[in-house]
Chain A
Amino acid sequence: MAYGSFVIQRDLDFVVERGEVFVIMGGSGCGKSTLLNHMVGLKQPARGDVVYDGESFWDSTPEARDGLRRRLGVSFQAGALWSSMTLAENVGLPLQTFTRLPPRQIREIVSLKLALVGLAGYEEFYPSEVSGGMLKRAGVARAMALDPDILFFDEPSAGLDPISSRRLDDLILELRDSLGATMVVVTHELASIFAIADNAVFLDAETRTMIARGNPKTLRDECPHPTVRAFLRRGAAEAVSGGTAA
Chain B
Amino acid sequence: MLVALMGPRMPVNSTTSGRPSPTLAVRRQGPEGGVLEFAGTWLSRCGLPEPAGALGELRSGAVRHLAFDAGQITAWDSGLVTFVLKVLNETATWGVAVDRAGLPDGVRRLVALAEAVPERQTGRSGARPPWLARIGTRAIAMATALTIGVTFLGESLRALGALLHGRARFRASDLFLVMQDCGPRALGIVTLISFLIGLILAFVGAVQLQQFGASIFVANLVAVAMTREIGCIMTAIVMSGRTGAAFAAQLGTMNTNQEIDALSTLGISPMEFLVLPRMLALIGMMPLLTVYSDLVGILGGAVVGIGMLGLGPTQYLEQTRAAVSVSDLLIGITKSSVFGVVVALAGCLRGMQSGRSAAAVGLAATSAVVTSIVCLIVLDGIFAVILNVLGF
Contacts and interface: CB of A to CB of B under 8 A. Distances in A.
Interface of A: 1, 9-19, 35, 38-39, 45-53, 71, 82-84, 88, 99-101, 105, 108-109, 111-113, 115-116, 118-128, 147, 149-150, 171, 174-175, 177-182, 184
Can you list the 10 inter-chain pairs with the closest CB atoms, starting with the nearest?
A53-B7, A48-B1, A83-B357, A121-B120, A84-B359, A178-B109, A149-B8, A118-B117, A180-B9, A120-B119
Interface string B350-388: 000001111110000000000000000000000000000
Contact of B45 (A100, A123, A128, A178): A100
8 contacts: A16-B5, A48-B2, A48-B3, A52-B4, A52-B7, A112-B110, A178-B106, A179-B106
Contacts of A184: 5
A134 to B, nearest CB: 10
Nearest to A2: B1
A178 B110 contact: yes
B113 interface: yes
A39 B79 CA distance: 28
Nearest to A109: B78
Contacts of A10: 1
A38 B45 contact: no
Quick one: which of B44, B85, B109, B355 has the most chain A CB within 10 A? B44
A179 to B, nearest CB: 6
B1 A105 contact: no
A71 B13 contact: yes
B124 A180 contact: no
B3 A39 contact: yes
Contacts of A50: 1-5
B45 to A, nearest CB: 6
A17 B3 CA distance: 11
Interface in B1-37: 1-10, 12-13
B77 interface: yes
A178 B3 contact: no
B7 A18 contact: yes
Contacts, number: 164
B1 A99 contact: no
B13 A150 contact: no
Nearest to B122: A121
Given A18-B6, A108-B86, 14 more contacts: A13-B2, A14-B3, A16-B4, A51-B3, A84-B358, A84-B359, A116-B113, A124-B122, A125-B124, A149-B7, A150-B8, A174-B113, A177-B106, A179-B106
A180 B8 contact: yes
A128 B79 CA distance: 30
A166 to B, nearest CB: 14
Given A112-B85, A178-B109, A52 B78 contact: no
B330 interface: no
Contact of A113 (B78, B106, B116): B78
B223 to A, nearest CB: 48
A84 B48 CA distance: 32
A179 B7 contact: no
Nearest to A178: B109
Contacts of A111: 82
Quick one: which of B9, B113, B116 has the most chain A CB within 10 A? B113
Contacts of A182: 5-6, 8
A116 B355 CA distance: 29
A146 to B, nearest CB: 8
B114 A147 contact: no
A18 B4 CA distance: 10
Contact of A51 (B5, B45, B86, B120): B5
Interface in B41-76: 44-45, 48
Given A71-B13, A147-B12, A179 B1 contact: no
Contacts of A39: 3, 5
Given A177-B109, A179-B106, A180-B10, A47 B1 contact: yes
Quick one: which of B3, B122, B125 has the most chain A CB within 10 A? B3
A99 B44 contact: yes
Contacts of A177: 106, 109
A177 B110 CA distance: 9
B245 interface: no
A67 B213 CA distance: 73
Contact of A105 (B13, B82, B107, B357): B82
A121 B123 CA distance: 9
Contact of A120 (B8, B107, B117): B117
B4 A15 contact: yes
B328 to A, nearest CB: 47
A116 B114 contact: yes
Contacts of A175: 113
A109 B106 CA distance: 16
Interface in B322-351: none
Interface string B80-110: 0110011000000000000000000111011
A192 to B, nearest CB: 19
